[in-house]
A and B are shown apart, each in its own frame.
Chain A
Amino acid sequence: MTDTIVEEEQPAPLSTQPERPADPAGRGPIVAAVRIWRQFTSMRTALLLLALLALAAIPGTVIPQRGLDPVKVNSYLAAHPHLGPLMDKLSLFDVFAAPWFVLIFILLFVSVVGCVIPRVRLHYRAMRRRPPNAPRHLLRMSASTGWETDESPAALGKRVHTMLRSSHWRADLRTEADGGVTVSAEKGYLRETGNLIFHIALLLLLVGIALSSLYGYKGTVLVSQGGGFSNARADYDVFEPSRLFSDSQLSPFSLTMQSFKATYNPANGEPLTFKADVHYTSSPTSPSKPYVVQVNHPLNLPGAKVFLVGHGYSLIMKVTNADGTVKYDGPTAFLPDNSLFASHGVLKVPSLGAGGGQLGLTGEFYPTAAVTQSGGLQSIFPAPDHPVLALSAWQGNLGFNTGIPQSDYSLPVTGLKNIGITQLSPGGSWKLPDGATVKFVGVQQWATFQVAHEPGKRTVLVAAVLIVVGLLGSLRVRRRRFWIRAVPAPVGQDPRRTVVTAAGLARSDVGGFVDELDDLVKQIGRSPHGAIETERD
């Protein structure tokens, strides 16, 4: 919380921080607890926790994080066999979920709560109090002025009081014993209001984040052209439910991808657009509707959003055994290895029949192939302008019967026998030594979709808006006071004359206060003559 204890040189202290009651005296566990609580909710502790949180976040940007790049974490662990596991124990690969990080976060929020609650009460009281009476000698204040007028003190006081009220000052009219009239006014309560809104909104933000992380879910699925998926756990390649998630939360939509199109800048191969044409139904009974999912254009469905998060090539291969029986015909997804979409993939045929055993094909795919200086192949453009598929064929036990889950994208070749390698263009065929034929039929695209549901999203958004609004109030609004006193001219002078003095006091550093005071007294009708000149240093 900003704005506290600033020692005031002025007669009337004006801080937006309401004064706190003094620490309780004496001994005993309750007194000690109150003291510790006071210490904990002090600005100094908040400052310390802010700094600690900032420091604690730094390792999360330097050390690879599981949440961002699990592959990198694994290779880091492999490269640092001694240090790695120790770092893992300290949660350095999951910094933002680490107990120590969460602890600092929670402490910071508890300190905010401890700071906000008493301030809300005190601010409410302050807003209902009358503005404090004018100090005795207004001209002694640093921003002050005075003049004389023919208007009676009572009339002037009444007029100024009405004027200030109509321009949203909290104003109070008082009559003094000597016949003088004072108006005290105060403005800028929005500063503390904004400050409190900001800190309460931070707590609301935490509630929203908690809702999402307790009830949300996230699923990722790879879809080939013409394929699709339903919003069911089993359909996803990766499914990350939150702690209190239940399958009944999955809304019953399904989606098929008609086509996927990527365009690239011909000059440098940088991507220009990604478009996935899909048909979707929100529920099994509703009609199917078309939509184009793009980066920055997710598909909004009740209870979930569908995002396009990745793409790559599927290669259509047809495997025929020596008899001419088709053993496999369809797309196989290859995973991209670089931004030019050189990709790798695997096709496994469990049984060729007709004398052939199990067949494994490992492939490298180059959408626009070119020969490197060393004679190898590389991709020079991400679009399939000159596609080439390099294949190796393997024979032996592929491990289908071991019961161990198989990767769709890799084939451990130890124990397998290589029976040949080749390079194919679309339409090309390759005859294997055992009589089987592999035909490279063509190229298709696949896309990965991420389906996400974050129930706390709205709460977070509302909190975020309140955070900005509150900040603007607490940083840009100035808390200020204005006083004016009108007294009859002293004995011996013209009795119809009234002596007017005025002064202002601003608490915060937002400029323009003296101009505001100038305009105020001009409105009140300070005559240019008879002004009490004060010297400027």
Chain B
Amino acid sequence: MAPNLHLAHVSDVLLTWAVFCYAFAMLGYAAEFAGTRRAARAIENGERRNGALYSRRLGQAAVALTFIGWAIEVGSVTTRGLAVHRVPWGNMYEFSCMVTLVAVTIYLTLLLSQPLKRIGAFLTLRPSRHTMSWRSRESVRYLGAFLMAPVVLYIGIAATVLYAAPGPLVPALDSYWIKIHVVAAITATGAFMVSGVVTLLYLLKERYERGLPPLHMVIARRLRSPRHPEQFSFGPGTAAAAEMNAASSGLMQSLPSAESLDRLAYRVITFAFPVWTFAIIAGAIWAETAWSRYWGWDPKETWSFITWLGYAAYLHARATAGWRGRRAAMLSLIAFGSLMIDYYVVNTVITGLHSYAGIS
């Protein structure tokens, strides 16, 4: 059946609107952050200002915009599916949109699953990793500010570089396994995206909690005077570190504790990792039907396996003395990096059997 070009156009327009919503939501979240910092400083200085209220409103507006953007993106994906008479994840463009949809869905789910002021019998005397639950966790709205950036970037790349005209599936993809294998891959990728953002925030906050200045400031200073790097000491307690930390402390203090960021990242990964494992297995079963072997070390298979190993290493590291925390987080970011290679580089640069990008 020929694609319905009118509907496909509607889908494209809706996607543009969704991106606008996400982009403005990102600005709203950022403004809330900035406002909270200013309000905090004002209170410190003894000024009476009501900036905190406005910034809070901005944050609420950002959440509303995220919901609207999400609904519009659902509409975009649905119309795309109706236009091409098949599942709307048959090429890289469509896959990217689905991944962002999953990431935003996970964020909104986290946001919604925070119970409003419910007071229970079990109260936390002191924070402990053993008793942390939804209730004792801080709001995840901070995540919105940092998640919207990769979401917008992802859709941006999809809509410009990876855009594929609406069309039918190539025969190799025409199987019910596309509903199983690809959905699992999309879900896991979206979740890994969320955990990647949280992990990055964890690393920032962890550094701050150790009294070290933010890495980008250190790099900026080193670049400004590359000749004498030894004259700057940035260790905890030094004047330079204190100065740089003061500059970033507003942002850092608005973030939850490193421990709770670490825990959130772990929770998301414990969801994503089994789904990713399932995606690889479902892919192998499909490969057995389509290509006569369940595993052939095709570049896509190999990089998926490398990603799997990376996250497996993270899970092990998290339980190994000396690797817990920062090093485990680095492993998780490396694993996410290999997932991105698996997606962008393998699909477009390395030739393999998974050449369904729909771009030439």
Which residues in A have some Cβ–Cβ distance to B below 8 Å? 1-6, 9-10, 17, 43-44, 46-47, 50-51, 53-54, 57-58, 60-62, 65, 67-68, 95-96, 142-145, 209, 218, 265, 267-268, 270-274, 294-298, 305, 307, 309, 450, 452, 454, 457, 460-461, 464-465, 467-468, 471-472, 475-476, 504-507, 509-515, 517-518, 521-522, 526, 531, 534-537
Contact = CB atoms under 8 A, between A and B. Distances in A.
Interface stretch (B126-134, B203-211, B222-230): B126-134
A509 B292 contact: no
B338 A67 contact: no
B13 interface: no
Q: Which of B124, B303, B319, B338 has the most CB of A within 10 A?
A: B319
Given A43-B316, A305-B292, A511 B122 contact: no
A534 to B, nearest CB: 5
Interface in B262-302: 263, 266-267, 270-271, 273-274, 277-278, 281, 284-286, 288-299, 302
A72 to B, nearest CB: 9
A319 B346 CA distance: 48
B281 A464 contact: yes
B131 A61 contact: no
B125 A535 contact: yes
Given A57-B302, A145-B123, A505-B130, A468 B277 contact: yes
A230 B220 CA distance: 71
11 contacts: A6-B324, A57-B302, A61-B299, A67-B296, A67-B297, A95-B297, A464-B281, A471-B277, A475-B270, A509-B270, A517-B122
Contacts of A507: 130
B292 A518 contact: no
A142 B285 contact: no
Given A4-B320, A6-B324, A505-B130, 19 more contacts: A2-B319, A5-B319, A54-B306, A57-B306, A58-B306, A68-B298, A96-B297, A142-B130, A270-B167, A294-B171, A296-B174, A452-B292, A464-B281, A471-B274, A511-B132, A514-B133, A515-B120, A518-B121, A537-B127
A294 B173 CA distance: 12
A299 to B, nearest CB: 11
A54 B167 contact: no
B316 A2 contact: yes
A143 B130 contact: yes
B274 A472 contact: yes
Contact of A514 (B124, B129, B305, B315): B124
A536 B124 contact: yes
Q: Which of B135, B298, B316 has the most CB of A within 10 A?
A: B316
B121 A521 contact: yes
B136 interface: yes
B126 A537 contact: yes
Given A2-B319, A144-B122, A514 B167 contact: no
Q: Which of B172, B294, B305 has the most CB of A within 10 A?
A: B294
Contacts of A2: 315-316, 318-319
Contacts of B106: none
B112 interface: no
A422 B273 CA distance: 61
B323 to A, nearest CB: 7
A271 B170 contact: yes
B316 to A, nearest CB: 5
Contacts of B126: 142, 537
Interface of B: 120-137, 167-168, 170-172, 174-175, 177, 263, 266-267, 270-271, 273-274, 277-278, 281, 284-286, 288-299, 302-303, 305-306, 309-310, 312-313, 315-324, 331, 338, 346, 350, 352
5 closest Cβ pairs, A-B complex: A514-B133, A475-B270, A518-B120, A307-B292, A296-B175
A507 B123 CA distance: 17
A506 B121 contact: no
Given A57-B305, A96-B297, A506 B313 contact: no
B122 A295 contact: no
B186 to A, nearest CB: 17
Q: Which of A47, A273, A297, A536 has the most CB of B within 10 A?
A: A47
B91 to A, nearest CB: 11
A513 B350 contact: no
B133 to A, nearest CB: 4
B123 A535 contact: yes
Contacts of B292: 218, 298, 305, 307, 309, 450, 452
A209 B123 CA distance: 51
A513 B313 contact: no
Given A295-B172, A505-B130, A50 B123 contact: no
B234 to A, nearest CB: 29
B121 A61 contact: no
Contacts of A65: 297
Nearest to A7: B321
B134 A54 contact: no
A265 B168 contact: yes
A61 B346 contact: yes
A145 B294 contact: no
A60 B299 CA distance: 8
A513 B131 contact: yes
B131 A506 contact: yes
A515 B319 contact: no
Contacts of B171: 271-274, 294-296
A517 B136 CA distance: 14
A349 B295 CA distance: 42
Given A1-B316, A142-B131, A531-B121, A509 B266 contact: yes
Contacts of B310: 54
A9 B298 CA distance: 47
Q: Which of B136, B267, B290 has the most CB of A within 10 A?
A: B290
B115 to A, nearest CB: 8
A295 B172 CA distance: 6
Nearest to B313: A50
B316 A467 contact: no
A61 B302 contact: yes
A366 B170 CA distance: 22
A514 B122 contact: yes
Contact of A509 (B125, B132, B277): B132
Q: Which of B125, B130, B295, B331 has the most CB of A within 10 A?
A: B130
B167 A268 contact: yes
A95 B171 CA distance: 30
B200 to A, nearest CB: 19
B124 A464 contact: no
B309 A467 contact: no
Given A67-B296, A457-B294, A54 B309 contact: yes
A47 B320 contact: yes
Given A457-B288, A522-B121, A143 B267 contact: no
Q: Which of B129, B297, B299, B322 has the most CB of A within 10 A?
A: B297
A3 B297 contact: no
Given A47-B323, A273-B171, A514-B133, A61 B294 contact: no
Contacts of A142: 124-126, 128, 130-131
